[in-house]
Homo-oligomer: A and B are copies of this chain.
Amino acid sequence: MTPPEQPERGSDRRHREIREAAIGIFLASGYDGATMEDIAVRAGVSKQTVYKHFTDKQNLFADIVLSTTDDMDALVCLIADRLSNTSDPAKDLEHLAETFLNALMEPRVLRLRRLVISSADRFPEIATAWYGQGFERALGVLSRSFQALAQRQLLAFKDPAMAAEHFVGMLFWIPVNKAMFTGDDDYAATHDLAPVARSAARAFMNAYGVGRKDRRGRTMTEQ
């Protein structure tokens, strides 16, 4: 983490520490298994302090779930900006794909994802907000990058939003499901994600890139 520009106030620090402790407890014990008591102990504060900062368990859960979308958003904006200005979309799309995939396959992100899905029928507003602030915001950023490349005649499509959806679908569907359904949240540590990222980026360029031909003048279909 980069150091804050101004010294952090004691109250802000405690807020952050309780949040960190809560993420650990919720991910380890699930929503029902997590108690405000355990979170207080882990954060090294009293239970009253936890309630003072976060009202109740559901509020604390909502807060930690939504706070994680900011990290993802910052990352997506950074790499999408680079993509918008690229002179080599094929290469930079591969880079974006790999960075994005590694971020989503972080054990903590996968565990949080399972937790949010598990509780989506009980707390649909939290899961919906997570989807909106996380996935849909990222899709919007990506879509605008693709639109910028289309204006520079490096990509071609009718609907940039649909193209963005296809890109993330090719990239994420298989590895994320494998992690979800094997319960293996350390999937990225034991599997090479680079070929998945590369092949998704290449298939996307084949579908939406402009004028890429192979040496014999055929449309390229390599992966």
Contact = CB atoms under 8 A, between A and B. Distances in A.
Interface of A: 32, 114, 116-118, 120-124, 127-128, 130-131, 135, 156-159, 162-163, 165-166, 168-174, 177-178, 180-185, 199-200, 203-204, 206-208, 210-211, 219, 221-223
Nearest to A115: B118
Contacts of A178: 131
Contacts of A124: 182-184
A111 to B, nearest CB: 8
17 contacts: A114-B118, A121-B183, A122-B183, A124-B182, A127-B183, A128-B182, A130-B181, A131-B182, A157-B221, A157-B223, A159-B223, A162-B223, A165-B173, A166-B199, A169-B172, A173-B173, A219-B219
A199 B183 CA distance: 31
A203 B127 CA distance: 29
A200 B170 CA distance: 10
A1 to B, nearest CB: 27
A194 to B, nearest CB: 13
Nearest to A167: B170
Contact of A158 (B157, B168, B223): B223
Contact of A170 (B122, B166, B180, B210): B166
A90 to B, nearest CB: 13
B165 A170 contact: yes
Instruction: Identify which of A117, A174, A184, A199 gathers the most chain B CB atoms within 10 Å of its CB.
Output: A174
Contacts of A223: 157-159, 162-163
A184 B121 CA distance: 8
A170 to B, nearest CB: 4
Given A118-B118, A165-B170, 18 more contacts: A114-B121, A120-B180, A124-B182, A127-B180, A127-B181, A127-B182, A127-B183, A131-B182, A135-B181, A157-B223, A158-B222, A158-B223, A159-B199, A165-B174, A166-B199, A169-B170, A206-B207, A211-B219
